[in-house]
Amino acid sequence: MEWRLINQEGVSDSFGLASDETAALRVGKGESPPTLRLYTYESHSALVGRFQTIQNELNIGFCSENGIRINRRPTGGGAIIMGENQMGVALTLKGSKNDSYYKARNIMEKFSQGITFTLKSLGIESSFRGKNDIEVDGRKIAGLGLHRTSTGGILFHASILVDLDIELMLNVLKTPFKNLNEKTVRMVSGRVTTLRKLLSNDISVNEFSSNLAKGFSAVFGVALVDDEYAVEELRAAAKLESEKYLNSEWVYQKSKSNESDGTAKLKTNGGFIEVSVELSGRTIKKAHIGGDFYAAEQALADLEQSLYWHSADEKKIHNTLSRVFSERTDELSMISSSEIIAAVQKAVKNASQKSVETSDPYGCFVTPDAHV
């Protein structure tokens, strides 16, 4: 089996997003071949997830003053910054003709193997975790997204950090941090990692791109053929770019979901616990568990991740957190599971009671340090 391989550097976000959606629409109809596009965007763009409200996610004034373009992905998830040192992956495949949702819960992991396999070939052990992250030792290195088009085409998106200007990211994304200082940058650095940091060298984007192509080829058992978009694809992409990705009605649309946030603080024998959550309707979009109690950071990150895109139902929260506690007994031995669960449930209850028009969610690569 063959896939087309398209390498692009420094393209605009609007063209890139339009060409990915065009390829996914066309592959669904059998008009374009399966395509792996490996790319970087012109520095810099801030991209929000399909349904995010830009005013809640990005510092629009900073973006405007610094020439950072804003756009909206067709895939879900959180806001990201893209530029010359963030490697983009767009894989477009034809969905199975008999179905709309086949095993959606498993398929993201399958796609992520193209990336984890590549990282392993470079000596980096990584794993897929939660809704859409690839992490190395608990630190996020890539964000993933999956979109099914109206024609049945599937678009898999990934953004991999070859390098990252954390200070710039913290200026672009709205974060829970009141001040941007060295401590904040250090805190975020503890939750994010990059290829160059892990390899201790200046691996080029081109070199990594070549590794990725080999990784996807091996994982999916396909031959990749270097190619470019056909004229009719470029024409369709240009039309979609003009009508959608350069159109403020798409880019600045607002979600109709009830979004709210809540916190809970609890003093326990093991220490002080502080939990904050963000809800969309009755779904937990994000959770942060901090305080001055002792626990392994990886275990706390697991607790937080287990709540990501989780039901706000009290019983389900109890069951999920109990399961994580049972898997992390030693690392969480200094704190009681019932107290953490109670704090999370309280934060969710507070969020449910507080319907706010604008929340203050964290960006895709920003989660406060587990230890406050």
Partner 1 sequence: MDENKNMEFPLDLHYHSSNHMWAKKNDNGEVTVGIDALALDSLGEIAYLSLKEVGTTVKKGETFGSLESAKMTTEIFSPVSGVISSLNESVEPNPHLINEHPYEGGWLMKLTPTDWDSESQSLISREAIIEWSIAEVKRYEKENLFD
Interface residue list for partner 1 (CB under 8 A) = 49-51, 74-76, 93-105, 107-108, 131, 145-150, 154, 255-258, 280-283, 285, 309-312
Q: Are 191 and 200 in contact (CB under 8 A)?
A: no
Tell me how far, at minimum, the Cβ of 279 lies from partner 1, in Å.
Answer: 9
Q: Are 37 and 19 in contact (CB under 8 A)?
A: yes
Cα distance between residue 324 and residue 104, in whole Å: 23
The residue among 297, 279, 298, 276 whose CA lies nearest residue 287 is 276
Cα distance between residue 61 and residue 158, in whole Å: 27
Tell me how far, at minimum, the Cβ of 274 lies from partner 1, in Å.
Answer: 24
Tell me how far, at minimum, the Cβ of 309 lies from partner 1, in Å.
Answer: 4
Q: Which letter does DSSP use for residue 227 in this model?
A: -
User: Quick one: 46 or 93, whose CB is closer to partner 1?
Assistant: 93
Q: Which letter does DSSP use for residue 176 in this model?
A: S
Tell me how far, at minimum, the Cβ of 355 lies from partner 1, in Å.
Answer: 9
Cα distance between residue 271 and residue 372, in whole Å: 11
Tell me how far, at minimum, the Cβ of 199 lies from partner 1, in Å.
Answer: 31
Residue 341 C-alpha from the chain's centroid? 25
The residue among 101, 138, 149, 359 whose CA lies nearest residue 254 is 359
User: Quick one: 206 or 283, whose CB is closer to partner 1?
Assistant: 283
Name the helix (H) or strand (E) containing 187.
helix 182-189
User: Quick one: 132 or 209, whose CB is closer to partner 1?
Assistant: 132
Residue in the structure block whose two tokens are 């892990």: 198
Residue 64 C-alpha from the chain's centroid? 23
User: Quick one: 108 or 166, whose CB is closer to partner 1?
Assistant: 108
The residue among 5, 4, 26 whose CA lies nearest residue 234 is 26
Tell me how far, at minimum, the Cβ of 264 lies from partner 1, in Å.
Answer: 20
Triad 206, 33, 209: Cα angle to 5°: 10
Cα distance between residue 253 and residue 260, in whole Å: 18
Cα distance between residue 126 and residue 140, in whole Å: 9
User: Quick one: 6 or 154, whose CB is closer to partner 1?
Assistant: 154
User: Quick one: 98 or 248, whose CB is closer to partner 1?
Assistant: 98
Q: Label residue 227 exposed, middle or buried (CB < 10 Å: 0-12, 13-18, 19+).
A: middle
User: Quick one: 120 or 316, whose CB is closer to partner 1?
Assistant: 316
Strands 2-11 vs 223-226: parallel, antiparallel or unpaired:
parallel
Residue in the structure block whose two tokens are 């990150």: 301
User: Quick one: 88 or 130, whose CB is closer to partner 1?
Assistant: 130
Name the helix (H) or strand (E) containing 104.
helix 104-121
Tell me how far, at minimum, the Cβ of 23 lies from partner 1, in Å.
Answer: 14
Tell me how far, at minimum, the Cβ of 134 lies from partner 1, in Å.
Answer: 16
